[in-house]
Copies of this chain bind each other. A is one copy, B any other.
Amino acid sequence: MSLLIIGTVAFDAIETPFGKTDKIIGGAATFIGLSASYSTKPVKLVAVVGDDFPQADILTLEEHGIDTEGLQIKQGEKSFFWSGKYSQDLNSRDTLITELNVLADFDPIIPDAYQDCKYLMLGNLTPAIQRLVIQRLVNRPKLIVMDTMNFWMDIALEELKETIEMVDVLTINDEEARQLSGEYSLVKAARKIQEMGPKFLIIKKGEHGALLFHKNKIFFAPALPLEEVFDPTGAGDTFAGGFIGHLAATDDISFENMKRAVIHGSAMASFCVEKFGTERLLNLTQEEIEAREAQFGELVKVLPVTAVLPA
C-alpha cells in the first residue's frame, strides 16, 4: 500500500565515544525511508535539500525504492545541517550546531502522484508543517503516524497539540510522554495522550525497548542487547520507518499487527546503531532482518512449568 513520508533530509556530523564523522547523510526522512524500503516500495518522499546535497546520495535513496519526485532541491541554498556529540553512556547528547538553511521556509509540496497514499509518516518537523501535509492530501490516509520531540513541546505546545489531534499513532520517548501529559506513570500518561487524539501511542525507550498503548492494552518489545553499539543517531526514525513500513506492506492496522510492526521496527533500529549514520541500513538482507526479529521472541520466551519439570 502506498506510503508517503515527510521529514528532513540533511547532513549530520556526529561524535560518539567510539568515533566521529565529517558531514554524512542523515535526517529523519532518510532513516525512515531507508528503513521502510525493506518492507514496501516505493516510499514516496516529501522533503527539501539545498544544491549542496550530493546527487549520488539522491541516487542511493532511489536505488532503495524511494521516490524522490517530492524532494525539492533549492538552488543557491544549503541543506539542513546538524552536529551533535553523545555522552559517554550514549544516553544524552549535546547539539553543537543547528543550521536550518532550506528548512527555514520549507513549503511541503505534495506531487499529484502522491495523492493516493494510504499510509502517512510525519517525521519530526515543525508541527505546523506536519499539519499542512495532512491538509494538502485530498483524502485522509488510512493511517497517520507522527513523530515529534520535546523541543516542540517547549516552544510550540499549542500548535503541536493541534497536529497531534489529527493523527492515529504518536511516537515519542518516555520523558516526552511525561512532559506532554504531566503524568509520571506511563499508564496514566498514555491514557491522557490518547485523549488528545491519537488512538495509539508508542513510547520509544531506546536501549530499553518500546511500549505500544491502545485503549487498555499494552504491548512491550525489548531492545535487543547488542554486541556493538556505535551511534544512536537515527535509531528512533529507523524504528518508525520499520513500523509504518510493516503496516503499509501488510495493510493491517489491528493492534495485533501493530505489535509485529513494533518488533520489526525494533529489529531495524538494532541494525541502525551498529554503525555511523545510515551505513548499516544500506545493505541489509531479508534473512538478517528475520533472524533478528526471531531473537525478540527468544529473549522473552518462558516455557510453561509443566514442560520443564523433571518427570
Contacts and interface: CB of A to CB of B under 8 A. Distances in A.
Interface of A: 17, 89-90, 175, 178, 184-188, 190, 205, 208-209, 211, 218-222, 225-229, 252, 254, 256-257, 259-260, 263, 297, 299-303, 305, 308-309
Contacts of A301: 219
Nearest to A305: B260
A302 B222 contact: no
Q: List the 4 closest pairs (A to B, CB-CB), nearest first.
A: A208-B208, A300-B300, A220-B222, A220-B299
A169 to B, nearest CB: 18
A219 B221 CA distance: 13
This chain's copy number in the assembly: 2
B17 A302 contact: no
B208 A218 contact: no
A308 B254 contact: yes
B308 A227 contact: no
26 contacts: A89-B178, A89-B184, A90-B184, A185-B225, A185-B228, A185-B229, A186-B225, A187-B227, A190-B225, A205-B208, A209-B209, A209-B222, A219-B300, A219-B301, A220-B222, A220-B225, A221-B300, A222-B222, A222-B300, A254-B308, A256-B303, A259-B302, A260-B302, A263-B302, A297-B302, A300-B300
Contacts of A225: 185-187, 190, 211, 218, 220
